[in-house]
Amino acid sequence: MKASLLKKYISFILLILILIACQSPAPISGKIEGILKKDLKIYLIQPENLKEVAASYFGKVIDSAVVNSDGSFKFYHFPKSKEPILLELALQLPDKYPTYLQTENTAKSNYMPILWQSGNTIRITAKIDEFQKSFSIENPSKINKTFLELRDINQKAYQTYLKDKNWDVHKGDQLLQKEHAILQYQQELINFADSTELLMPALLALRWVSPVYNYERVPEFLVNQCNKWKEKAPNHPWVKQLCEQSESSKLPVLLGDKFPNIKLPMITKDTLNIEKVLGNKLTIIDLWASWCAPCRKENREFLLPIYKEYHKQGLQIIAYGLESDEATWKAAINRDGANIWLHTSELQGDNALFLKQIRISTIPANFILNNKGIVIAKNIHGNAIKDWVKNYMKNN
């Protein structure tokens, strides 16, 4: 065959292949409804580790598609893998970075995770201004259907507990109100993760609990998830990453743990040994600060009456102050009438060794110990701690 004929033959074959490819259904395609803006793009992002799931500015962009004037888009480029892959679709305006994910306002989230497997096709529809909230998949697989169910739980919990809420954390107990609302929101996702038998939806729920990967207030959740999945999927790399994060040395003291027997400098200049001053029935380790408004309210309205009523029945309070100025610390204790229980501080502020030993960075916080020094409750505040102590003292 002459060279010129060979070139024509090759060109003809390539043309046929291109036509076939163009006529083949795209592995992932869809339509965005409500298109009023030009230059919209949708990106296909692959998280490369657990921390990158549902995290803004992370993950590998593996493809992009222009959203056409009729809202349609198609993806053709995918990783080569025989195993199912977690991918994220992110809709972006021209001024946004490809991997920007709206994680603060769930109602306006611009992304949605899906599970894709080679050989499958996925057809998607979503609204431009409510991308995640309106995201739907035509005939979804079992796992993608579960992702959508989790999305609904997430959206409803956000709507119920967090949407349009504005707390002034410098006033009274609004910081505690905010933390309580966040915990209620998180609990809906925690309940889902604890109940599902599907790994990827569970891990997505775990990441939605805290996109910034801060589980200080719910460390037991991480431990429970690690214990669950290391039995069911011990070789999955993300399970190994989860369990590395769940090591006790990286988490605050857990429920069921014995509280560390730490020696602390007291306001009286003596040294306190926690184990030697435990209450006969109950001890509250209270972390507070003179500059913390909800802490001060807790002192006056809740800890003071609790201590007066139950100290002689076996209740002890050990308060640790995140302080750097001794005079300010003492003045706050006296003003709150809190000088009747034990007070300790290294006067090192946030750099205190004690905080590092128990791995706490957020206040107000407390650990409630039984007479053996075992943590039996944590972070109970306000009227709830009054009721909790009353019930415990009555039944023990």
Domain with 82 in it: what CATH number? 2.60.40
Select from 224, 150, 239, 243 the least CA-distant residue to 189. Answer: 150
Residue 217 has pLDDT above 70, yes or no: yes
What is the reported pLDDT for 5? 59
Tell whether 327 is covered by a domain.
Answer: yes
Residue 18 has pLDDT above 90, yes or no: no
Tell whether 350 is covered by a domain.
Answer: yes
Tell whether 10 is covered by a domain.
Answer: no
Residues 290 and 205 in one domain: no
Contacts of residues 229-237 at CB distance under 8 Å and 24 or more positions apart, as own/partner, are 229/199, 229/202, 232/197, 232/199, 233/199, 236/199, 237/49
Residues 124 and 169 in one domain: no
Amino acid at 305: P
Instruction: Give the mean model confidence (pLDDT) for residues 122-142.
Output: 96
What is the reported pLDDT for 95? 86
Residues 75 and 198 in one domain: no
Number of domains in the chain: 3
Other CB atoms closer than 10 Å to residue 270's CB: what's the count?
Answer: 11
Give the model's confidence band at 200: pLDDT under 50 very low, under 70 low, under 90 confident, else very high. Answer: very high
Report residue 11: phi and psi, to 5°: -60, -40
Instruction: Give the mean model confidence (pLDDT) for residues 38-55.
Output: 95
Residue after which a domain boundary falls, among 213, 245, 277: 245
* Burial class of residue 130, CB neighbours in 10 A (0-12, 13-18, 19+): middle
Instruction: Give the mean model confidence (pLDDT) for residues 199-203.
Output: 98
State the average pLDDT for the chain. Answer: 92
Please report which helix (H) or strand (E) contains residue 174, including its range: helix 174-195
More confident residue, 125 or 8: 125
Using an 8 Å Cβ cutoff, are 255 and 377 in contact?
A: yes
What is the reported pLDDT for 115? 96
Residues 344 and 271 in one domain: yes
Tell whether 258 is covered by a domain.
Answer: no
Using an 8 Å Cβ cutoff, are 222 and 241 in contact?
A: no
Amino acid at 194: D
Tell whether 253 is covered by a domain.
Answer: no
Using an 8 Å Cβ cutoff, are 201 and 207 in contact?
A: no
Range of the domain at 168: 161-245
Residues 317 and 361 in one domain: yes
The DSSP symbol for 311 reads G
Other CB atoms closer than 10 Å to residue 395's CB: what's the count?
Answer: 6
Residue 134 has pLDDT above 80, yes or no: yes
Give the model's confidence band at 6: pLDDT under 50 very low, under 70 low, under 90 confident, else very high. Answer: low
pTM, entire model: 0.89
Residue 10 has pLDDT above 60, yes or no: no
What is the reported pLDDT for 19? 45
Of the listed ranges 80-84, 151-155, 345-349, the one predicted with least confidence:
80-84
Give the model's confidence band at 22: pLDDT under 50 very low, under 70 low, under 90 confident, else very high. Answer: very low
Give the model's confidence band at 153: pLDDT under 50 very low, under 70 low, under 90 confident, else very high. Answer: very high
Report the SS3 class of residue 211. Answer: coil
> What Cα–Cα distance (Å) separates residue 51 from each residue in 158, 357, 364?
21, 25, 27
What is the reported pLDDT for 176? 86
What is the reported pLDDT for 175? 84
Residue after which a domain boundary falls, among 192, 210, 245: 245
What is the reported pLDDT for 56? 96
Of the listed ranges 132-141, 166-175, 264-273, 308-317, the one predicted with least confidence:
166-175
What is the reported pLDDT for 11? 59
What is the reported pLDDT for 170? 72
